[in-house]
Amino acid sequence: MSLSRREIAAEATGPTIVAGEILVEIMATDRGMGFLEPLTLVGPYPSGAPAIFIDQVARLGGGAGLIGCVGRDDFGTINLERLKRDGVDVSAVDVSDRYPTGSAFVRYRRDGIRDFVYNIAESAAGQIHLTTAARLLADRAGHLHVMGSTLSVAGLKEIVAYALKAVRARGGSTSFDPNMRKELIDGADGEQFAALVDDADLLLPSGDELLAAAGVDDQHQAVTALFARGVGEIVLKRGADGSSWFGADGTRIDCAGFHVEEVDPTGAGDCFGATYLTCRRQGMEPGKALFYANAAGARNVTRRGPMEGTAGFDVLDDFIAGTARAT
C-alpha cells in the first residue's frame, strides 16, 4: 500500500492505454423476452467496454492505444476500421485466425431488463495475452486505465501487471473502474482488486461500487478510507443523476445530469470515464472535466449502438448548448 498522493499524468507523458474485450453488439429492435424466435435485429455495432472507452479518448484528441484481440472476420474488421478512423493506436490488437470476434446479442424486456447471448470467453476476446506488441505499447504509455469487468479473462492480469509497472516507471498514472463482479472481489482475485484501488490516481466507481471498493457501508466513510489508502481523486458516476468529484482535501463537486431521451444506455459509463480522464490529462480542472464527462455520457445514450455516440469537443459543445440539465 502506498500513501503518497497520486496525480493524473499530463498528456505529454504518453498515450492512455486500456486492455480488454472488443466485441460486436447485435440488438433486437423490439422489446420482449430473449432470442427464442426469429426477430428483427440490427448490427453489427463496434462494442466492448474497453474499446468504447479508448475510442472516446481518441475522439477528444487524447493519445489512445488498445490491447485486445479480434477474429479474422468482418466483425473484427468493423471494429479495427472504426478505432483506426477515430485515431486509436491498434498496433497491439491481435488478430486470431482460429477464434471469431466476440459478440453480444442484447434484447430489452418490456421492463427495461436486458437479456444477453454472449460469446466472449471462447471468442478472440478471450484469447488476449501479453504479446510483444502489447509490451511495446505499454512501454511508451503515459496512463493505464483498468476496468474491473475485464479482469476475469486470464491474460488480462498479466497485461495489467506488466503495464502498471511500465507506466509507473516513466512517471505515468492509472485509473480504475471497479465494476467487478462481487464473486471476484471476494475471491482469490480480491488482492489484485485491492492493489488496483490502492494504486489508482483516479477511481471511477458507480453507485455501490464505491462502497465495495472501500469495503464499508457509508459513502463518507468510503471516500475517507480510500483517500487514506492513497487514491488520488474519486469520481462517482450517478447515471442520469449526474456525477460527483471528491478530492483528498475533503472538497466535493456535484455536477447535474443532462435531460435526454434514452435510446441505448450501453457505453455511457465508458464515455463518461474516458472524457473525465482525457480532460484531466489535458489540464482541465475537475469541475469542468466532470461537466464534459456528464455531457459525453448523456449524449452517448441518445445514439443506438454502444460506440456510435462517442464525440469530440466540438460535438459535445453543441450538445451542451442545446440540452437542458437536471436541477
Residues lying near its own copies in the complex (CB under 8 A) are found at: 26, 34-45, 73-75, 77-78, 81, 98-100, 103, 115, 117-119, 121-123, 305
108 or 323, CB closer to its own copies? 108
Q: Residue 176 Cβ, how far from its own copies at the closest point, in Å?
A: 29
118 or 194, CB closer to its own copies? 118
Bond preceding residue 44 cis, omega within 30 of 0: yes
* Dihedral of alpha carbons 286, 288, 294, 299, sign: negative
β-pair type (16-19, 143-147): parallel
68 DSSP assignment: E
82 or 280, CB closer to its own copies? 82
What count of other Cβ atoms lies within 10 Å of the Cβ of residue 24? 26
For residues 123 and 115, what is the distance between their CA atoms, to the nearest angstrom? 19
115 or 158, CB closer to its own copies? 115
103 or 175, CB closer to its own copies? 103
In the block, cell 469487468 appears at: 149
Q: Residue 45 Cβ, how far from its own copies at the closest point, in Å?
A: 5
β-bridge mates for residue 104, sequence order: 25, 118
74 or 241, CB closer to its own copies? 74
39 or 195, CB closer to its own copies? 39
Q: Residue 36 Cβ, how far from its own copies at the closest point, in Å?
A: 5
Q: Residue 293 Cβ, how far from its own copies at the closest point, in Å?
A: 26
Q: Residue 263 Cβ, how far from its own copies at the closest point, in Å?
A: 14
Q: Residue 53 Cβ, how far from its own copies at the closest point, in Å?
A: 20
Q: Could you give the 3-state DSSP secondary structure of residue 295?
A: helix
Residues whose CB is less than 8 angstroms from the CB of residue 319 and which lie 6 or more positions away in sequence, other chains included: 258, 295, 298, 299, 311
For residues 168 and 6, what is the distance between their CA atoms, to the nearest angstrom? 11
For residues 36 and 211, what is the distance between their CA atoms, to the nearest angstrom? 38
118 or 139, CB closer to its own copies? 118
DSSP characters over 153-205: SHHHHHHHHHHHHHHHHTT-EEEEE----HHHHHSTTHHHHHHHHHT-SEE--
Q: Residue 25 Cβ, how far from its own copies at the closest point, in Å?
A: 9
In 3D space, the residue among 139, 153, 136 whose CA is nearest the CA of residue 49 turns out to be: 153
Q: Residue 106 Cβ, how far from its own copies at the closest point, in Å?
A: 12
